[in-house]
Chain A
Amino acid sequence: MSEYKPTIGLEIHVQLATKTKIFCSCSTEFGDEPNTNVCPVCLGLPGALPVLNEKVVEYAVRLGSALNMTINKVSTFYRKNYFYPDLPKGYQITQYAIPIASEGFLEIKTKKGKRKIRIQRGHIEEDAGKSIHTGDITESQYSYIDFNRSGVPLMEIVTYPDIETAEEAYEFLVLLRKTVRYLGVSSGDMEKGALRCDVNVSVSKNDKIGTKVEIKNLNSFKSVRRAVEYEVKRQIDVLENGGSVVQETRHLNEKTGETVAMRTKEELNDYRYFPEPDLPPLILTDEFIEKIKKELPELPLQKEERFIKEYGIKEDYAHDIASSIELANYFEAVCRATKKPKEVANFLMTNIMKYLNKTGKQITEISFNEKKFAEFLSLIDNGTISKNIAKEVIDQSLETGKSPKEIVKERGLVQITDEDAIKEIVLEVLKENPKPVSQYLSGKTQTIGFLIGQVMKKTKGKANPQIVNKLLRNALMKMKK
C-alpha cells in the first residue's frame, strides 16, 4: 500500500485584545452579565453606523507583520450575508477582496526540523453573538442570545495547506498563540474563545490534492490534534474501501473523538459578498506600517535561539522559558542580576515551576524576585548552604515569601564546614556500622556511599559533602593500616 499524504490547512480566529468592539464603543470584557455591553451598532438596530476602532488596525498590522505578511496599504470591507439568530444585521462585516494583510509565513519547529507554513491572508472582522441553550438542545423550544460578543474584533488567519500532520497543526497553533501573547494583541485563551480554529483536511496518494473536509469550531489544542488524527484515518479508510470522500463540514464529538457530518441543509454556502457601503477603504500610510514593524518585539523562536546562544542553557529549557513572555522576562531579569544563567534556568525549571504548578500562580505573582534569587545563589557560592539544602531553602522562600538568608538563619541550615565537627560524626558513624566498614576494608569500596549517607543523615544534610567524603576516606584508610 503506498502512503497517503495528508494536506492540512488552518483558519484561525484570533480575538484582538482591544477594550472596545471593532465598530462601536461597547466594552469587550469577557464574562459580563449578558446583554450589558450592547448598543444600536452591535445589535444591528436600523440606521446604526459602524466606526472602525483604530486599535484594531494597529493590532492587525502588528500581527500581520509578525507573521511576515505584506500589509496592504488599501484594504476594503465587505458584507457577508447569511441568516442566523446570533447575527443581528443579517450580515457580518468582514474583509474580502483585499484583506489588511496577505502572503506571509510562520516557521515552526518539528521533529523533522524547521518548517515554513505559508499564510495566505489575514483579515479583520466582527464576531457574532453567543447562543445559549438551556437544558437539552434537542428538547428546549428556544435558544437565548447574548450579544456582548457581537462586534468583538477578530483577525482571521488563513494558512496555505502546507501542514502535513496533526503534530504540525498543533505546533503551528501553539506558536501562533505564543506569538499573539508576545505581541500583546490577544489573550490567546482558547477556553474563552479568544482563539478558535477550523481545520481543512484532505488525503491523497499523489500530487493531486484530495477532496477537502472542513472541521469547524475546534476550541482546544487537544481537539485540533484529535480532529486531524481522526479525520486523516477516516478518509484513508473510506478511500481504501473503495469509497470517495464527500466534501462537507464536520464537527468533532469531544466525547468520542470522532468527527461527525453536519446537516447539509444549511450548507448552501452563498454569502453574496458585496462592498460595505458604510465603510470606505482603509488606507494606511508607509510611516504607520514602518513604525509598527520597527516596534515589533523579539518573537518566541528568536528568543529561544538567543537564550541558547547567549546564555548557553539547554535547548529544552530555552524552549520552555521562551514559551511565555513573562517567564522569559523573569529569566532575563534574574540573569542580569546574578550572571549565572545555567543555575537560574535549573532552579527556574525545577523548584520554581513546581511551585507555580502547585499553586496555580503566575511567575509575575511570586515574591522571589531577582534580588532574592541573587542572594540565594550567593549562599550556595560562598558555601553557606549545600546544593542539597539549597532546594529546601528556595522552596521555603517561595512558600513563605521570606528571604533565603532568613530561611537559612531560622532553620539553622548553614552548611557545616568545620572539619573537627564533621570528623566527630564520621567516627561515630564508623563505630555504629561495623559491617559496611569491614566490607569496605575487604575491597567492597562502594559501601562508602552508604556511610556518606549516614553522616549526611546525622547532620540533617548540612555537612559539606566534599569534606565528608574526604574525612571518611582518610579515616577508613587509617583503619586499613
Chain B
Amino acid sequence: MIDIEKIEHLAALELKEGEKEKIQKDIEEIIHYFEILKEVDTNGIEPYIYMKGAHLFLRKDQVKKGLDREDLKKNRILSQNKFYKVKRIMGE
C-alpha cells in the first residue's frame, strides 16, 4: 500500500477526494510492474544506470554571458524588474 498523502506532500500537489483513490490505484498498478520485473534474477549484474560508453564532458572555466535581463522581463519571467516574485516563503 502506498501512502498517497505522503506522495501528495512530496509532489506539492493538492488532490481532491475523488482523485486520491484514482491516483492511488494508478500508482499501485505502476509499482506492480516493478514487482513483475523483480522476478528476474539480477544477481551479479551491474545496475544499468548510464548509457553504455557515455562519457562526461568537462567545460573550461570561462565566463559566457547568459540571458539578458531585459529579455527575461519581456518574457514576463521576471517581475519587479529585478527579481523573480514568488508567494511568500514562510519564515522560521
Contact A35 B84 (CB under 8 A): yes
A272-B51 CB under 8 A given contacts A143-B88, A145-B84, A280-B56 = no
Contact B66 A142 (CB under 8 A): no
Most buried by A among B51, B61, B84: B84
Contact A83 B12 (CB under 8 A): yes
Contact A26 B63 (CB under 8 A): yes
When each residue 263-277 of chain A gets 1 if its CB lies under 8 Å from chain B and 0 otherwise, what string results? 100001010100101
Complex contacts, B77 vs chain A, CB 8 Å = 43
When chains A and B are docked, how far (Å) is the Cα of A60 from the Cα of B51? 26
Tell me the dominant secondary structure on chain B's binding face.
loop
Asked if A141 is at the interface (CB within 8 A of a chain B CB), the reply is: yes
A38 to chain B, nearest CB (A): 5
Tell me the dominant secondary structure on chain A's binding face.
loop
B65 to chain A, nearest CB (A): 8
Complex contacts, B55 vs chain A, CB 8 Å = 280
When chains A and B are docked, how far (Å) is the Cα of A76 from the Cα of B50? 10
Contact B61 A18 (CB under 8 A): yes
| B42-71 CB contacts (< 8 Å) to partner A | 49-51, 54-64, 66-67, 69
A184 to chain B, nearest CB (A): 13
Complex contacts, B62 vs chain A, CB 8 Å = 19-20, 25
When chains A and B are docked, how far (Å) is the Cα of A137 from the Cα of B91? 7
Contact B50 A275 (CB under 8 A): yes
Contact B86 A85 (CB under 8 A): yes
When chains A and B are docked, how far (Å) is the Cα of A313 from the Cα of B54? 56
A57-B58 CB under 8 A given contacts A85-B89, A275-B50, A280-B50 = yes
B49 to chain A, nearest CB (A): 5
Which residue in A39, A132, A282 is a CB contact (below 8 Å) of B56? A282
Known: A35-B78, A263-B90. 12 other contacts (CB 8 A): A35-B83, A42-B66, A53-B58, A54-B59, A55-B61, A131-B86, A138-B91, A142-B86, A144-B82, A144-B84, A146-B83, A281-B50
A residues touching B (Cβ–Cβ < 8 Å)? 18-20, 24-27, 33-40, 42-43, 51-57, 76, 81, 83-85, 129, 131-133, 137-138, 140-147, 251, 260, 262-263, 268, 270, 272, 275, 277, 279-283
